[in-house]
């Protein structure tokens, strides 16, 4: 059960989708789902619906709305194709921390004004590059975010990156869960350790888990790195986090 929605934003209009359970009966706790670098596509619609079916209203925005509406990866292509990747990297380059901040405010405004979403705190989940988005949103809106999760997150704590979310996680008040692929070249062990240290020093209630044998992108069904066992575990862990916080 989903519907398309347009969200007014400082930088334009965010095209997004709202997912609810098939038997939804009234407003439900809100969850924001940020797609991976490939943007909106069928496997993420399926993922959002699976989360919604546990009793939530899921808001999935097009993170690339500044540059394109709807799906960015052409039909029959994948975000790994050499003629697609440059476009995605260009669009992703526009998603600075400042741009994310403006988008977070717009998404929260949508949640406050649409009938599907209940009052109260919300959850946020990100994948690949948007694992960092989830952490940043939780850090910038600690009064609103009860739970933040990231799966096969990329570049969470590069030592020489002044825009890394590792510098802002100290203000998070909600729960954090990070599910990492143990064969992820985009998040080596030293970055995992650096993020864990920052969260621990700040007293954030967090869990870090390594998914043994999994590679980057293990939850994306349209990726060669998809791992059905790891994907099922990710859904289990996310469901547990949301149940315990929302």
Q: Give the tens place of pLDDT for each residue, 67-95.
A: 999 999 988 888 788 889 999 999 999 99
- For residue 52, what are the domain limits? 2-245
pLDDT for position 68: 97
Q: Give the tens place of pLDDT for each residue, 183-194.
A: 899 999 999 999
- H helix or E strand, kind and range, residue 33: strand 30-34
pTM of the model: 0.97
Mean model confidence pLDDT for the chain = 96
CATH number at residue 126: 3.40.50.1820
Strands across the sheet containing 57-61: 2-9, 12-19, 57-61, 30-34, 122-127, 145-151, 175-183, 206-215
Q: Give the tens place of pLDDT for each residue, 126-143.
A: 999 999 999 999 999 999
**Percentage of residues of the chain with pLDDT beyond 70:** 100
Please determine, for residue 212, whether its predicted confidence score (pLDDT) is greater than 90. yes
Radius of gyration of the chain (CA): 17
Q: Give the tens place of pLDDT for each residue, 94-113.
A: 999 999 999 999 999 999 99
Number of domains making up the chain:
1
Q: Give the tens place of pLDDT for each residue, 215-236.
A: 999 999 999 999 999 999 999 9
């Amino acid at each position: 059960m989903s519907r398309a929605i347009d969200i007014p934003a400082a930088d334009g209009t965010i095209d997004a989708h709202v997912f609810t359970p098939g038997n939804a009966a009234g407003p439900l706790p809100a969850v924001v789902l940020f797609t991976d670098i490939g943007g909106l596509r069928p496997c993420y619609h399926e993922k959002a619906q699976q989360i919604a079916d546990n009793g939530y209203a899921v808001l999935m925005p097009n993170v690339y709305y500044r540059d394109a509406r709807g799906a960015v990866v052409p039909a029959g292509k994948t975000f790994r194709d050499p003629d697609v990747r440059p476009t995605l990297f260009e669009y992703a380059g526009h998603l600075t921390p400042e741009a994310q901040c403006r988008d977070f405010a717009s998404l929260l405004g949508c949640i406050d004004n649409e009938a599907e979403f209940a009052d109260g705190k919300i959850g946020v989940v990100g994948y690949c590059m948007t694992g960092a988005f989830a952490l940043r949103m939780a850090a910038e809106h600690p009064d609103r975010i009860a739970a933040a999760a990231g799966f096969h997150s990329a570049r969470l704590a590069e030592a020489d990156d002044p825009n890394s979310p590792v510098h802002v996680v100290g203000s998070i008040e909600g729960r954090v869960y990070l599910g990492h692929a143990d064969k992820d070249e985009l998040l080596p062990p030293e970055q995992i350790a650096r993020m864990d240290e920052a969260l621990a020093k700040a007293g954030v209630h967090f869990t870090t888990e390594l998914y043994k044998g999994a590679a980057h992108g293990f939850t994306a069904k349209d990726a060669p790195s998809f791992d059905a066992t790891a994907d099922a575990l990710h859904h289990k862990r996310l469901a547990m986090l949301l149940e315990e916080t929302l």
